[in-house]
Amino acid sequence: MKQKTIFIDGLGLVEGHFSGVGQYILGILRGIDEILESDKYAGRPAPEVCVIVPRNTVAKFRTYGFRHIGCKSFPLSFRVMSALWYRGKLPPIDLWCGRGTYIFPRFVSMPLLFSKSALVIFDLSFELYRQYSDEGNAVFLSKRVKNSVKTTKKIIAISENARKEIVAFYKLKPSDVVVATPATDPALFYRRSADEIEHVKRKYGIQGDYILALSNLEPRKNLDTLVDVYCRLPKSITDKTALLLVGVSGWKTEKLFQDIVEKAEAGYNIIRPASYVLDKDKPAIISGAKMLVYPSHYEGFGMPPLEALACGVPVISADNSSLPEVVGKAGALIPSDDKDKLLETMRQYLDTIDAKTAVTATTGPEQARKFDWVKSAQTFLDVAQEIEK
């Protein structure tokens, strides 16, 4: 029997702001493309994989250069299709795209009339940590994810911790939820040369040494704790080593920004890049850091620590949710609410930074290689094959 076409919702791939969800979709699709290349080269039967995109984003989809993944143009603009999806007003999309197996990688499914589907849920912050969420987004997700779970055959989580939380919260059978983690691309995330680091630092107006905080600026990331602890370091350290905050502004950031401005005006060495850091420059920004500190209260996965480890940069991370899975034994893990322990660990790292960096140059990439896009892409294909039976 011929395998049904696998359709994947591509809205997150072609939207204007390329979010972490978009990065995940792109990584999975590139992994699938690699699997299909191997299958076709070896003469093995391979499924047809098709990404659903709005009619005015086909050109953008083609810039990704997939060899074996096509697209199905939906007869609506991105703006209209997104608005209808958000309001739950889309018509059954398999009436247009055809019968197949559908995978929805953005928390919320689309209506189907005669096809089966799988759903990706990245985390449950909107349910378990509502105080850190944008309220409007949390209300939307709380209602719509619950409804989507009822209509899907399989759930894909991005970490073992997220899988356990999803099973418990929605009262699902453990076998109904599988894990397909994100990963780093070793062709991009590796320690960059001193010349490249200096070039990129000049591009963004960054001078001298720095401790890196890489995340969206929102309450869940706990950057207020990091800023406070950094300012408790001896002045002899902070004068030589800045705290560099890299990331886009999220929600509920007024108090954080006010605190940063006040501390900067008081002479503390807290800086931000002169402009938005492009993805292609991120590995050099990471490679130039003394270390990355990531005190987040909760993560579905936590890409910045993994990216830093892939670049051989020492990592201090919170010890909650999925972060121990990501960091493993390659970095330090501390409670997100223990400022004294964070201060002690940062001091210890800075006092022995050359030795820490020498060790992480080996252990960091080793930890990063435990996560693989092709392996996760195969999970997507296996899920599609299972639910179509």
The pLDDT of residue 252: 61
Each residue's pLDDT tens digit, 141-183: 999 999 999 999 999 999 999 999 999 999 999 999 999 999 9
Domains 6-183+372-387 and 194-368 share a fold: yes
Looking at domain 194-368, its CATH class is alpha beta
The pLDDT of residue 160: 98
CA distance 45 to 36: 9
The pLDDT of residue 2: 56
For 103, phi then psi, to 5°, come to -120, 125
* Domain covering 6-183+372-387: architecture: 3-Layer(aba) Sandwich (3.40)
The pLDDT of residue 257: 73
Spell out the domain ranges in the chain. 6-183+372-387, 194-368
The pLDDT of residue 1: 46
Using DSSP bridges, classify how beta strands 116-121 and 154-157 pair: parallel, antiparallel or unpaired. parallel
261's CB contacts (< 8 A; 6+ apart) are none
Distance of CA 30 to the CA centre of its chain: 16
Task: Copy the structure tokens of residue 126.
Answer: 């909107």
Which residues of the chain fall below pLDDT 50?
1
Each residue's pLDDT tens digit, 206-262: 999 999 999 888 888 999 899 999 999 999 999 999 999 998 776 566 777 787 778
Asked if residues 107 and 145 have their Cβ atoms less than 8 Å apart, the reply is yes
Closest CA to 107 of 84, 127, 123, 94: 123
For 384, phi then psi, to 5°, come to -60, -40
Burial of 308: CB neighbours in 10 Å, binned 0-12, 13-18, 19+: buried
Sheet holding 116-121, edge to edge: 69-74, 49-54, 6-9, 101-104, 116-121, 154-157, 177-179
pTM here? 0.94
Closest CA to 221 of 323, 120, 107: 323
